[in-house]
Amino acid sequence: MSKAPRSSTTKKIADLSLNTESGLDTELTTNHGLPINDDQNSLKAGERGGTLMEDFILREKITHFDHERIPERVVHARGSGAHGFFQVYEPMARYTRAEFLQDPGAKTPVFVRFSTVAGSRGSSDLARDVRGFAVKFYTQEGNFDLVGNNMPVFFIQDAIKFPDLIHAVKPEPHNEIPQAASAHDTFWDFISLMPESMHMIMWVMSDRAIPRSLRMMEGFGVHTFRFINEKGKSCFVKFHWKPLLGMHSVVWDEALKISGNDPDFHRRDLWEAIESGAFPEWEFGVQIVDEKDEHKFDFDLLDPTKLIPEELVPVKRIGKLTLNRNPDNFFAETEQVAFHVGHVVPGIDFSNDPLMQGRLFSYTDTQLIRLGGPNFHEIPINRPIAPLHNNQRDGFMRQMINSGRTSYSPNSLSGNSPSQVAALDGGFFSYAERIDAHKIRARSLSFFDHYSQAAMFFHSQSVPEQNHIVRALRFELGKVETTAVRERVLYHLAQIDKDLAKRVADGLGVSVPAKIEGPPNMSIPADGDPKQFQSKRVKEMKPSPALSMANTIKGDITSRKVAMLMSDGFDEAAFATMKKALASAGAVPKVVAPHGGTLKGAGSNEVPVDVTLLTTASVLFDAVCVVAGAKSVKTLQADPAAIHFVEEAFKHCKAVGALGEGADLLATSQLAKNETIEAGIRSKKLVSEVGVVIGGAATASKVAAAFIEAIGEHRHWEREADDFVAA
C-alpha cells in the first residue's frame, strides 16, 4: 500500500487538532481511531458466558463514561440515606454459607442509600425515574453490597450499552435541557432503536416510577446471583425487598406540583419518619432456582430485561430490614458511601449476566476519581467491621498505618502473613462453572424476546394503572419533536398491546405504523439474523397479580400526613376527637389554616397552627379533613386557597373528610357536583362514598373511623372518571 502524500497527511492531522466531527456519516472508532465492528455486545466466553477482561473496547468505553462527571456521581447523584439493621428469620445454610444469613438472633448493621438515577444532585425527588435501592451489609465476613433498584428489570441486556443509555436520558448536550426528565428526543430515540428496553419502559411509565415515599416502594437486586452452600452446591437467586407499608404512588399531576412545593419531598419524608420513630421496614425475599432448572423457563435467567414471575417461583421471605437512624452528616455518609456489585461474601457469587459483568468493572473504576483514589474503602461509612489485612499500601488519602517490612506474598520474613484462607475455613471461592466456548461478540438467541414480558406487565396492571401508563406515554412522547422517533416507539408498543398503542397514538394525533426500519448495526444474535427488530410478541404470558400495586398492603396509615383544615371558631370537641383518632392510628395530623400563629376555638381554647395555606399545598398531604365550626368554615368558604386545597385533594383521589359545618366547604367546591356527595352534604348524616366521608360533629368518632378506613385505601382511583374537578 502506497503512503499518502506528506501534504495530505499534514492536513489530516491539522483537521483532527480542531477536535471536530465532519457530519453524521462517520465510522465508529475507539479513542485511538480503531474502527469498531460491534458496539452492541461485549466480548464473552460463548453467547451466555462471562464477559472477558480482554474486551478493551468495553473497558475504554465504560472507563470514559465513569469519569465524565467530577465529583458528582454520574448516575444516582441525588440520594437519601439511613442506618439500620438486618435480621434473618431462619438459617439459610441449605442454600448459602453466607454467615449473616444463618443466625436469627444476630443483627447485621446496614446503611441504605435511595436515589433517583438520571438527575443531578439538585434535581427534584419526584422525577419520573427509576429509584436506586442500595444496601450495604456490614457483616463479619466483610461488606456485602446489594446494589439494586425499585424495579426488577433494566433497559439493556449488555453493560457495553450503559453509557449510551445514560447519555440518551441525560440533558441533551447542546443545551443541557431537560434536567431529570426522560421526556425528550434523545432518550426516546435510543429506546425506539433498542426493543430490548420495552419491558423496562412499561415499568418506568407505570406508577412505580413516582412512589409516594421511599418507604413505600419495593427493591430488587435486578440480576440473577448465585447462592453457594458449604458443600459447594449452587443455586440461582433473585433478591427482593418487600415494604411492610405496602407499595404506594402519587399521580403525575401531583408529582409535578410536589416538585414545585417541596423538591425534597422523599428526602424529608424518610428523615421525618425515622426521627419520629416510624422506622421503615422491608422484608428480604429470595426467589431460588435449582441449577437443573436454569433452562426450564420461556426466558433466560441471565437476561436482566426479564423477571421471574412470582407465580412461577414464589418469593420466600427470609429476613427483615429496619432503618432506625438518620445520618449525622449527609456528605460524610450519604454522599461518600461507595457501593459495588462486586462486594460479596462467601456463599454469594455472580452469574454470567452480561449487564452484571460490566458493573463488576465499572463500580470500582468510578469511585477512583469520585472519592479521590484507591483508598475510598477507608472512609468511615465504607469501612468493614471485619478485620482488614492485605498487602495493598499507599495511594491517595491513605489512612491505615501498616507496620512490618513485607507487603508481598508469598513471604517468609513475616511468616507468610497475611495468608490465604482455605475454602473450608471460610475463604471466598468463585463457583467452578465449566466454560467451553468461543470468544464472540454476540447475544444468545434466548435474549431476543423483547415483548412477551412487557405485555405480561401491562396486562397485570389494574385498569387505573393501565390508564396511568397510557397517560405517561402520551406525556413523554408528546414532548418528542421527531416524528420518526414517535412512530418507532408506537410500533414497539403495538407488539406489546395493540389497544395500548392505539390509545397512545390517539392522544398524540397520529397513527400506529405497521412496519419500521432499524439501523443496520442493531444487536444481532449469534446466527447473524437481525430480523428481531421486526419481531412480534413470541408468546402469551399469564398476568402476574404480584406486579400490580392494586394488590399491595392496605389499611395501615402509619406516618400518613393528614391536613386538618380549619380557622378561628373551629369546633373544639370535634377537632380533638378527630385528631386523637388519627394519632392513635399512627397518622400525623397537621393544623392547616389561613394564617399562622394560633387558632381560637369556639370555646376560646387555642391551638397552634402547623402550616398556613400560604406555604403549603394539598399535594404534601395524604388526606384532608375540614373541621366543624360555623365561623371557621365561613372563613374558609371565602378563601379560594381553601377551596382549591380540598378540590385538589379530591382530584388526586385522596381521602376527604368533613365534620359538621365542614360539609359546607365541600358544598362551595366542585365536589358537590357528585350526586352522592351532594346528598351527604345536605343530610349532614354519615356518608362514605368514593373516599369522601361526611358526618355530623356529634358523631365525630364514627366519622373518624370511616375516614381512617378511607385513608387506608391510599387512593380512590374510581374518582378518575369524574372529570368535573379542574383543580
Q: Which residues are catalytic?
A: 76, 149
Please tell me the distance from the alpha carbon of residue 633 to that of residue 669, in angstroms, as a whole number.
12
DSSP string over 440-465 = EE-B-GGG---SHHHHHHHHHS-HHH
CA 474 to CA 505: how far, in whole Å?
8
d(CA 37, CA 656): 61
3-state DSSP assignment of residue 350: strand
Instruction: Name every residue whose Cβ is closer than 8 Å to that of residue 13 and which is 6 or more positions away in sequence.
Output: none
Dist. CA 405–CA 121, nearest whole Å: 44
Q: How far is CA 191 from CA 27, 81, 371, in A?
A: 22, 31, 32
Is there a contact between 188 and 476 (Cβ–Cβ < 8 Å)? yes
* Cell numbers for 269: 419524608
DSSP 611-628: EETTT--GGG-SEEEEPP
Using an 8 Å Cβ cutoff, are 39 and 521 in contact?
yes
CA dist 5 and 99 (Å) reads 69
Q: Tell which residue, 134, 320, 146, has the closest CA to residue 238.
A: 146
Most distant pair of Cα atoms in the chain: their distance: 103
In the DSSP assignment, the letter for residue 331 is I
Contact between 460 and 548 (Cβ < 8 Å):
yes
The rounded distance, in Å, linking the Cα atoms of 581 and 707 is: 10
Sequential DSSP letters for 274-321: HHHT---EEEEEEEEEEGGGTT-SSS-TT-TT----TTTSPPEEEEEE
- Output the CA–CA distances (angstroms, integers) from residue 96 to 165, 228, 287, 335, 412, in the order listed: 35, 5, 13, 32, 35
Q: Which residues of 426-462 are buried (b: 16+ CB within 10 A; e: fewer)?
A: eebeeeeeeeeeeebbbbbebbbbbbbbbbbbbbbbe
Radius of gyration of the chain (CA): 29
| Helices 483-496, 185-192: crossing angle, 10 deg rounding | 50
* CA separation for the pair 590, 496 (Å, rounded): 45
Please tell me what DSSP assigns to residue 29. Answer: B
User: CB count, 10 Å around CB of 147?
Assistant: 22
Residues 6+ apart with CB under 8 A from 516: 487, 488, 491, 533, 534
Q: What is the DSSP letter of 531?
A: G
The enclosing H or E element of 496 equals helix 483-496
